[in-house]
Amino acid sequence: MNKPLRRVAIFCGLLVLALLVRVNWVQFVQAEELSTDSNNRRVAIGRYSQERGDIIVDGKPITGHRETTGSDFKFKRTYKNGPMWAPVTGRASQAFGANQLEELYDGILTGDDDRLFFNRTLDMITGKEKKGGQVVTTLNAKAQKAAFKGLGSKKGAAVALDPKTGAILALASTPSYDPSSFAGNGADDEKAWVKLNKDKDKPMVNRALRETYPPGSTFKVVTAAAALENGVVDDIDANTKSPLPWQLPLSSRNLENEGNIPCENATLRDALRVSCNTVFGKLGDDVGRDKMVEQAEKFGFNKEVFTPVRADKSVYDDKMDRPGNALSSIGQFNTATTPLQMAMVASAVANDGKLMEPYMVDELRARNLTKVEQHTPKEMSRPLKPENAQKLQDMMETVVQDGTGKNAQIPGTTVGGKTGTAQHGVDNSEKPYAWFISYAKTDNGSPVAVAVVVEDGSANRDDISGGGLAAPIARNIMEAVVNDDK
């Protein structure tokens, strides 16, 4: 072969080699990136060409699908009682994407998860159309209905947990929205999306997981736990050394109580029963900031929680001064918490001091209902020794029997709880938040712990209280679970 021909042959060989390298690079290295590219419409068309799997509550689907018209996307998502379940399911929209369970388990619901490879292969061999699997939740439909109905037209949130396992039984947030209203990609979907995003009440914010509030007097349960765990208090029925008035440390300001209540040297039981700021502010100061931070973190503060949907971290400041710590010990200053976090506090107390990791998905299934994954309950921490948890149970049960939480009483069932009316706005200028945390106890232990927060801007300021607004909602949720557990 002469020299010019050899050069041409070598050049052509290099071109073929470059082509082979490029083809393999695209097929194997860039395959996933290209298949998930938002501009790859073929992927989107394929995604919506089949029926999406369902999210299950109590054995029944709370999601569905229907065929569309005037679009190359064949199926779109539908929701049953969409506003009630939106805080659980999230959305799956052709135009605006997915979030929460719809996003986290998208692979299972579309059938594209690697764990469904065998099922996909079998369906291909047998000629069945591709279809997604199921996400089976831990939610209790009756408890969810009680929470959503109880909150009604008020802003707020409610969370119910099974203290023994950490399973989420109810997760409600109001005002809410219907994910079906923008599940497609048409003009009506865009109009609904824009309207929801402009709504000043923020209906698409999951208040149960993503909103933090000052916890008010419900945080006194954490302070009581810290006092018991650190030996500041041993006997819950012995008088505390709590003067009235009590002056904040390093300050000329006195810490005030709500009304003329018997707080001077009150026992820990009575202080929780009538909600004495002076007693718990002093206890927080006696325990000290670092030990208070340690106790709060044992309950889950200062870190995000994954249910698997992410919940914002609740905050107990680890750098504040002594007055700040005293105020934080009664749920004021800059202490902030999600409703989920306060349900975790009540849950740990009810479960004799053991805090279980909260979760809302029990199992994942293929389309033929075979299990792909089964959740195993996990212990998260032990905020309290069993004997101290039982002392705190005794105190919280007194709150409901003969204190500020009487509206949570359930005939034939032991209920423990704590009310809270949290300050809101600069110098408490806004209407306060109403809180209630609680648990119910039967002969078989405690099947449910609850936290409810209500932002009721329409109520008269003097009518806003945890016992008045939040406790009845918590009672109805607990009653739904207890009756379902029989």
Residues 72-116 pLDDT 10s = 777 899 999 999 999 999 999 999 999 999 999 999 999 888 887
217 in active site: yes
Q: Quick check: pTM over 0.95?
A: no
Contact (CB, 8 A) for 328 and 335: yes
> Which pair of tokens denotes residue 378?
């996990």
Which residues lie closer than 8 Å to 285 by C-beta, 6 or more apart? 249, 322, 325, 326, 329
Which homologous superfamily is 209-359+381-485 in? DD-peptidase/beta-lactamase superfamily (3.40.710.10)
- At residue 123, the pLDDT reads 65
Nearest partner of 478 among 434, 437, 421, judged by Cα:
437
Residues 393-402 pLDDT 10s = 999 999 999 9
- Report how far residue 23's alpha carbon sits from residue 2's, in angstroms, rounded to the nearest whole number: 32
- Residues paired with residue 247 on neighbouring β-strands, in sequence order: 254
Q: Average the pLDDT over 440-449 and give the result.
A: 93
Q: Average the pLDDT over 336-350 and give the result.
A: 98
Residues 275-323 pLDDT 10s = 999 999 999 999 999 999 999 999 999 999 999 999 999 999 999 999 9
Cis status of the peptide bond prior to 175, with omega within 30 of 0: yes
- At residue 486, the pLDDT reads 67
| Residue 77 DSSP class | E
Contact (CB, 8 A) for 347 and 123: no
Cis status of the peptide bond prior to 245, with omega within 30 of 0: yes
- At residue 462, the pLDDT reads 38
Catalytic residue among 93, 180, 217, 446: 217
Domain boundaries, the chain: 209-359+381-485
Neighbour count for residue 76 (Cβ, 10 Å): 23
Assign residue 379 a region (left: φ > 0; alpha: ψ between -120 and 50; beta: otherwise).
beta
- At residue 30, the pLDDT reads 66
Backbone dihedral angles phi then psi of residue 429, each to the nearest 5 degrees: -75, -25
Residue 167's SS3 state is strand
Compute CA distances 252 → 246, 323, 444, whole Å.
Answer: 10, 11, 51
Whether 425 shows a pLDDT value over 60: the answer reads no
Whether 71 shows a pLDDT value over 60: the answer reads yes
